[in-house]
Amino acid sequence: MSSQAKRHLITSAIPYINGIKHLGNLVGSQLPADLFARYQRARGAEVLFLCATDEHGTPAELAAAKTGKPVAEYCADMWEVQAKIAEGFGLSFDHFGRSSSPQNHALTQHFAQRLAEEGLIEEIVTEQVYSKADGRFLPDRYVEGTCPNCGFDSARGDQCDNCTKQLDPTDLIDARSTISGSTDLEVRETRHLFLKQSKMRDTLDNWINQKADWPVLTTSIAKKWLHDGDGLQDRGITRDLDWGVPVMRADGPWPGMEGKVFYVWFDAPIEYIACAGEWVEAGKGSDWERWWRTDKGADDVRYTQFMGKDNVPFHTLSFPATIMGSNEPWKLVDYIKSFNYLNYDGGQFSTSRGRGVFMDQALEILPADYWRWWLLSNCPESSDAEFTWDGFQGGVNKDLADVLGNFISRVTKFCNSKFEPTIPAGGAWGDREEALIQELESRLRAYEAHMEAMEVRKSAAELRAMWAAGNEYLQDVAPWSTFKTDPDQAAAQIRLALNLIRIYAVLSAPFIPTAAARVCADMNTLDMAWPTDIRTALTALPEGHGFNVPDVLFAKITDDQVAEWSERFAGTRD
């Protein structure tokens, strides 16, 4: 199904509830998903854009304990914080849900029962790491040690982030508890439910082989998990924890599973579906099944997921195994856009050491659009990318201030001084205007193609090139000189440029929505129609249409600010 479908279901990887995320998390899923959602809405598509907080498991329990709050209260408070930050960054979710919702509890239990009925759930007595110092079984991610595959010394009990190999805690060398640091660990028996993913291996392999248009990053990770070593393994879907979705069948208790909860990586992706039910419950929409069930109309929906590369195995294998294994008509993902990592100034972002810029801090020092533009125009698509303050300063100052902001300022101020703050009449277009129209038409088609293909950096580069074309046009025709000898021709040049401002605002809105809305307000127009034909769009604001001369759209970032922020975010955050 083409990305030019009329209905788009879009989800971004749901963030853990335990704390505020850094800019690398933002650009790895939510921000590019928002870009795509905004673009598709601008092109007239019906969009359902969903995200939520991932609230279950030990991360939530430990974070709550540090604050002295009950875990449910902590999660409710942090959901408010994350929702507010998302709003601050202009993330246009149709609904921002919670994996602890009643809808997700019911749906998770439903899927588990259906998988059991299809013969894909097995009860197994397993050996699990128990920490004497902590007095508890340790979830996979709370056991760390050295990876037996690549030697990385901070591999987690479920996966090595360095080589992405799937692990069990007992595979780790020199294992330790991440809660207490204790190495006084022992293996004890416990009974759990396992999803028999191995029975789905051929089905998943055939399905992935059909996705020739997926990014190489996505398919290569999926294939590695399917075929390396012993291939796709059966996976435990329950844990010995207090906080989570209780292990029950949809129709009642699950004998032998009392006191256990479903593993967070089983219930978290199901929240994508449950979130649509929450959207309806909140009064924001109706008939969620037309988005998620192919027997209810979802056949014409194109479903796109956005995520960092560490989430790819669960979204290409485990979640599809859950959906396919249920043997029910649920909508499967059509396209997975995965991203590499954004590093920070020669190293990694670190939540524990406060290294790098976190989302709340970013909004404290600069408006969201500064961050949106730089992150998207430099997002880690084909390889890891790096945030540096010098690079950020250069990107903002050159692109937003010197190219886009400068064009808008020069045109509006000149028109106001030589004519009036209205679209001037007189004159006609000539060869230079025709050349500009042809260039803009060509670049617009390229911009649209890149956006449809979710090629984020190429889209940003094409948009900037359209901004630059306007500046080059101004330099060539020099209306300030033309005005001295031919005011009517200068009026025609400025009339085109003023209309070009509106076009820039519309095309830029997916990237910098707040600034785009401000530009349209200054141009006194609510017309945000996509400029499918540049020539026609250049006459959208008629002669005599009034506008306001805007203030500075993007202030330049100074060297003093860069020095201050470099020191502030070097790793001093508690």
Write out the binding residues.
Answer: 147, 150, 160, 163, 351
As a whole number of Å, the end-to-end CA separation of the chain is 47
Widest CA span in the chain? 91
Annotation: binding site for ATP: 351
Instruction: In whole angstroms, give the CA distance from residue 517 to residue 528.
Output: 9
Instruction: In whole angstroms, give the CA distance from residue 167 to residue 157.
Output: 6
The three-state secondary structure class of 89 is coil
Helix (H) / strand (E) element for 40: namely helix 31-42
**Torsion angle of the four alpha carbons 175, 179, 180, 181, in this order, in degrees rounded to the nearest 10:** 30
CB-based burial label for 545 (10 Å; 0-12, 13-18, 19+): middle
Buried b (16+ CB within 10 A) or exposed e, 185-224: beeeebebbbbbbbbbbeebbebbeebeebbebbbebbeb
Strand order from edge to edge, sheet including 301-308: 95-98, 46-53, 7-12, 301-308, 335-339
Q: Are 326 and 111 in contact (CB under 8 A)?
A: yes
DSSP 397: I
**Which structure tokens are listed for 414?**
């000149």
**Which structure tokens are listed for 308?**
């960092």
Q: Phi then psi for 540, rounded to 5 degrees? A: -65, -40
Q: Which amino acid is at 429?
A: W
Q: Are 535 and 60 in contact (CB under 8 A)?
A: no
Q: Are 479 and 500 in contact (CB under 8 A)?
A: no
Instruction: In whole angstroms, give the CA distance from residue 92 to residue 50.
Output: 9
DSSP 121: E
For the chain, what is the radius of gyration of the CA atoms?
Answer: 27
CB-based burial label for 295 (10 Å; 0-12, 13-18, 19+): exposed
The three-state secondary structure class of 212 is coil
**Which structure tokens are listed for 444?**
């617009």
Annotation: binding site for Zn(2+): 147, 150, 160, 163
Regarding beta strands 385-387 and 342-344, do their DSSP bridges make them parallel or antiparallel, or are they unpaired?
parallel
Beta bridge partners of 496: none
Helix (H) / strand (E) element for 187: namely strand 185-195
**Which structure tokens are listed for 412?**
């509006």
Q: Tokens 């100074």 correspond to what residue?
A: 558
Q: Are 64 and 71 in contact (CB under 8 A)?
A: yes
Question: 185: closest CA among 170, 197, 201?
Answer: 170
For residue 228, count other CB atoms closer than 10 A to its CB: 14
